[in-house]
Amino acid sequence: MSPQTLLELVVGGISLGGIYALMSLALSLALATTNILNVAHGTFLVMGAALSTFLLKDTGLPWAAGLAALIALCALVGWLFERVCVRPLLGRAPDRALVGSILITFGFALAFEAALGFYWAKFVDPQPTFSLPVTMPPFALFGVSLSGTRLAILAFVGVAVLLFHLFLTRTPMGKMAWAIAQDYDGALVLGINPQAVSVAIFTLGILATALSGLFFILASPLGPHDGLRLTLIAMTVIVIGGVGSLPGVLVGGVLLGLGDVFTAFLVGAVWSPVTYVLVFFVVLLLRPEGLAGIRHG
């Protein structure tokens, strides 16, 4: 393997991993603040990918307008999702909330993916694929050439993670969310409104995830049924890194991304989807304390 290839793989792995980490961060926060696992989380990344493809490529809108529309729509969807699917679950007793949350979010994921695949095939393209082949000039660093696309992805991830961090530590709403994530009851007795936090976290989280979808497809395409698989990836990252741990999620994401890329290179792309599930189960077996830091539903 030449140094160039190795570097490409590493950069590819880190940028993919960065997206995984960002997506997992949003899920982790949602989980920590509401105790609800959103099975449809990955579906929102696919939604972002689909909307991006549609608004930025297929409609011929100027990209600034398309981007604005994308952000507005995704935030709206996030808000609606919280309102319709999450809010009713917040007040319930734990076991009813659990069953309900799985049914609702899993049902949503299925329905959304089915609708997306069906109607995209019908109205846009019989072979639904979401991709934004934007060519960016390669970047020369220390005499080695790096893909501009990958660097753009890395830049996005870097900025997004930074914004998340600032949100949690500097803004009032973010601080309340961080508080609830650390101790639900402790936060409640202080007067923190869990519903207000839930709205903020889901709206922002889904928006961030959807935008990750946009950057994901700069590098590789996605199909309408990749959502549940992506949720599984996010869960694996959380299992590796721990809930609510920002550095943990980053590390986990990057590890998975690298694993994904190297597996595809070494044994073939068909084996990539297998890696993370295997990693998931292996990590589960190796963590004797179970999942310390994850609160159970």
Partner 1 sequence: MLEVNQLSVTYGDLRAVWDVTFRVDAGELVAIVGSNGAGKTTTLRAIHGLIPTAGGEIVFDGRRLTGEPSHRRVREGLALVPEGRRVFPHMSVLENLEIAAFASGARGALRARLDEVFDLFPVLGERHAQLGGTLSGGEQQMLAIARALMARPRLLMLDEPSLGLAPIVVDRLYETIRRLREQGLTMLLVEQYVYGALDLADRAYVLETGRITRGGSGGELLRDDYIRKTYLVV
Partner 2 sequence: MTPAARGLGRWRGLIIGTIAAGVLLALPGVLTRDLVTALFFAFTFATLALNYDLLGGFLGYLNLGQGTFFGLGAYAAFILAKELPGIVVRFGLPALAVFAVLAGAITALVAGMVSYPLFRLRGAYFAMATFGLFLLVRQLTLNLDTLTEGSFGIYLPSGDYVGQRLAYTLMLGLAAASLAINSAISRTRLGMAFHAIRESERAASAIGIDPFRTKQVALVISAIPSALAGCLFGMHFGYVDLESVLGIDKTLFPVIMAMLGGTGLVWGPVVGVALLRFIDVGLKNYLTLPVPALLIYGLILMVIGLFKPEGILAGLGKGR
CA end-to-end span of the chain: 46
- Shortest separation between residue 198's beta carbon and partner 1, angstroms: 12
- Shortest separation between residue 240's beta carbon and partner 1, angstroms: 20
- Shortest separation between residue 246's beta carbon and partner 2, angstroms: 20
- Shortest separation between residue 246's beta carbon and partner 1, angstroms: 11
191: contact with partner 2 by CB under 8 A? no
By a kind-dependent CB cut-off of 5 to 8 A, residue 71 interacts, out of partner 1, partner 2, none, with none
Contact flags string 3-42 toward partner 2, x per CB under 8 A: ---------------------------------xx-x---
Query: Cα separation of 16 and 82, whole Å?
Result: 27
Q: Which of residues 194-233 bind partner 1 (CB under 8 A)?
A: 194-195
Q: Which regions of the chain does DSSP assign to beta strands (E)?
A: 139-141, 144-146
CB closer to partner 1 out of 185 and 289: 185
By a kind-dependent CB cut-off of 5 to 8 A, residue 172 interacts, out of partner 1, partner 2, none, with partner 1
Query: Cα separation of 138 and 140, whole Å?
Result: 7
Query: Cα separation of 249 and 234, whole Å?
Result: 9
CA-wise closest residue to 54 among 118, 157, 123? 123
137: contact with partner 1 by CB under 8 A? no
- Residues in contact with partner 2, counted by CB under 8 A, come to a total of 48
Q: List CB contacts of 154: < 8 A, sequence separation 6 or more.
A: 11, 14, 15, 18
Helix (H, G, I), strand (E, B) or coil at 191: coil
Q: List CB contacts of 265: < 8 A, sequence separation 6 or more.
A: 9
- Shortest separation between residue 129's beta carbon and partner 1, angstroms: 42
What does the block give as tokens for 16?
Answer: 């993919």
- Shortest separation between residue 172's beta carbon and partner 1, angstroms: 6
Helix (H, G, I), strand (E, B) or coil at 116: helix
What does the block give as tokens for 223?
Answer: 């199909």
What is the number of other CB atoms lying within 10 angstroms of the CB of residue 7? 16
By a kind-dependent CB cut-off of 5 to 8 A, residue 231 interacts, out of partner 1, partner 2, none, with partner 2
Judge whether 236 and 279 are in contact, CB under 8 Å: yes
Contact flags string 164-183 toward partner 1, x per CB under 8 A: --------x--xx-xx--xx
Question: How many Å separate Cα 166 from the centre of its chain?
Answer: 19
Q: Which of residues 77-96 bind partner 2 (CB under 8 A)?
A: 85, 88, 95-96
CB closer to partner 2 out of 196 and 278: 278
192: contact with partner 1 by CB under 8 A? yes
Judge whether 117 and 130 are in contact, CB under 8 Å: no
- Shortest separation between residue 247's beta carbon and partner 1, angstroms: 12
**DSSP-assigned letter for residue 295:** P
Q: CB-side exposure of 285: number of CA atoms within 13 Å?
A: 5
**DSSP-assigned letter for residue 245:** -
By a kind-dependent CB cut-off of 5 to 8 A, residue 163 interacts, out of partner 2, partner 1, none, with none
Residues near partner 2 (CB under 8 A)? 36-37, 39, 85, 88, 95-96, 98-104, 106-115, 117-118, 228-229, 231-232, 235, 270-271, 273-274, 277-278, 280-282, 284-285, 287, 290-291, 294, 296-297
